Amino acid sequence: MRVRNRPKCRLHGGIVGKRKVLRGSDHPQYRNKGESRAEREERSKKSAVLLYLRDIGDHVRLFNGTKTRGRRPKTYQSLDLSDESQLAIAIIKSIDL
């Protein structure tokens, strides 16, 4: 509710009139190290590809030692690489760069 000749609402300070929706880095609640949702999803997909490559390398005993640190991305599914069909799925998913 606007009071006469005032550009902002006296109760909550909202600007009355044309609404200018801020998007991306212009928005005041832009978080997550300056990344947009699309950038975070892209990074999640790339992390999943790296995990599939790591799993394949572990299966053929290319690596020794501990696995990668941190949370697994949502797009990553743990596969049993002793099964040929699941090994093929891991190879196909690791090619999708």
pLDDT, one tens digit per residue, over 59-72 is 888 888 777 788 88
Whole-number pLDDT of residue 65? 77
Whole-number pLDDT of residue 83? 92
The tens-digit pLDDT sequence of the chain (97 residues) is 555 666 666 676 666 555 666 666 666 666 666 677 788 888 888 999 999 999 899 888 888 877 778 888 888 888 899 999 999 988 998 886 5
User: For residues 74 and 46, is the Cβ–Cβ distance under 8 A?
Assistant: no
Picking from 88, 22, 12, the residue whose alpha carbon sits closest to that of residue 55 is 88
How many angstroms separate the CA atoms of 70 and 55, rounded? 15
Whole-model pTM: value is 0.60
